[in-house]
Amino acid sequence: MLRIGCHLSSSKGFLAMGKEAVKIGANTFQFFNRSPRGGKAKELNLPDIEEYLKFAQEHNITQILAHAPYILNPCAKDEGLRQLAYETICDDLNRLTYLPDAMYNVHPGSHVKQGTEKGIFFVSSMLDKIREQGYDTMILLETMAGKGSEIGRNFEELRAVIDQVEDSSRLGVCLDTCHVFDAGYDIANHLEQVLEEFDQVLGLERLKAIHLNDSKNHLGSHKDRHEKIGQGQIGLNTFVNIVTHPRLRQLPIFLETPNDLDGYQKEITFLREKAKQDND
């Protein structure tokens, strides 16, 4: 059975997200611990988490994904900004210790004129510091579209981060379909070759989750504007290929398409139907 969900608002707590997920046919979901623009997270509501965990078990919700605020820049030039990223991520990971099943998704950040090498150094140093604190949540580096000076614009940059961390055993990759397409990987026409390249550079065993988004922009545009499934430049076929792919269909899949809950439900229903047809 496909493990698929979408991004949900965490403002009403975990049990509410669990119920929302079930309502739209999802069996996983992604969320922010705090405003995506950063800032302080709400006080942890442990009774809510306890109720959620029970609910999740009853409804087979697993492998949820927390997304770090995207305003953070782990490889900022300013030391204070790097420290803020580090502290916020640690606070997020503290919260995730109550959700043993969750993974944590991070944008490597933007090097802003310091150069790729320096950026990669700052990201991997931060990941080392996090591990030294004893957090063992699976951390996923997201493949980026390469707008501005984003680190992670190609598989090699993520490889370099992984190579430079002391202990990469709990470090994985989240492949965002819109981002890789905007970065220049032609998953629309050559999904197999892209996966092969991923395997050669990063190893497919590092791939732990997929962000499933169509793209408003063309291949290699470096733009990062998500579109609804099948309404962008990637096209419906690729998404069907992904949810039926023997190496991908076991992975948790998260929609970050511009949708309300109804729209998400439609996409989930459609993709489940395609995955099921393939299994029959």
Residues that bind Zn ion (CB under 5 A): 224
Q: Residue 92's binding partner, choosing from Fe ion, Zn ion, none, with beta-carbon cut-off 5 to 8 A by kind? A: none
Q: Compute the distance between CA of residue 276 and CA of residue 273 in angstroms, rounded to an integer.
A: 5
Q: How far is the CB of 178 from Fe ion (least distance, A)?
A: 7
The size of the chain, in residues, is 280
Interacting positions 129-168 with Fe ion (CB under 5 A): 142
Considering the complex, state which of residue 157 and residue 224 has its C-beta at the smaller distance from Zn ion.
224
Site string for Fe ion, 165-184 (x = CB under 5 A): -----------x--------
Does 208 bind Fe ion (CB under 5 A)? Our answer is no
Q: How far is the CB of 71 from Zn ion (least distance, A)?
A: 14
Residue 104: which H helix or E strand, with range? strand 103-106
Longest alpha-carbon distance in the chain: 55
Considering the complex, state which of residue 82 and residue 107 has its C-beta at the smaller distance from Fe ion.
107
Considering the complex, state which of residue 70 and residue 270 has its C-beta at the smaller distance from Fe ion.
70
Q: Compute the distance between CA of residue 168 and CA of residue 162 in angstroms, rounded to an integer.
A: 6
Residues 62, 27: contact at Cβ < 8 Å?
A: yes
Q: How far is the CB of 144 from Zn ion (least distance, A)?
A: 8
At 185, list the tokens: 């990987």
Q: Residue 224's binding partner, choosing from Fe ion, Zn ion, none, with beta-carbon cut-off 5 to 8 A by kind? A: Zn ion
Q: What is the chain's alpha carbon radius of gyration, rounded to the nearest angstrom?
A: 18
Considering the complex, state which of residue 92 and residue 224 has its C-beta at the smaller distance from Zn ion.
224
Q: Residue 20's binding partner, choosing from Zn ion, Fe ion, none, with beta-carbon cut-off 5 to 8 A by kind? A: none
Q: Supply the DSSP symbol for 244.
A: T
In the beta sheet, which residues pair with residue 211? 176, 254
Considering the complex, state which of residue 224 and residue 267 has its C-beta at the smaller distance from Zn ion.
224
Q: Compute the distance between CA of residue 108 and CA of residue 2 in angstroms, rounded to an integer.
A: 28
If we measure between CA atoms, which residue out of 222, 257, 64 comes closest to residue 152? Answer: 222
Q: How far is the CB of 164 from Fe ion (least distance, A)?
A: 22
Q: How far is the CB of 144 from Fe ion (least distance, A)?
A: 8
Q: Compute the distance between CA of residue 119 and CA of residue 106 in angstroms, rounded to an integer.
A: 14
Does 214 bind Fe ion (CB under 5 A)? Our answer is no
Binding site for Fe ion (CB under 5 A): 142, 176, 211
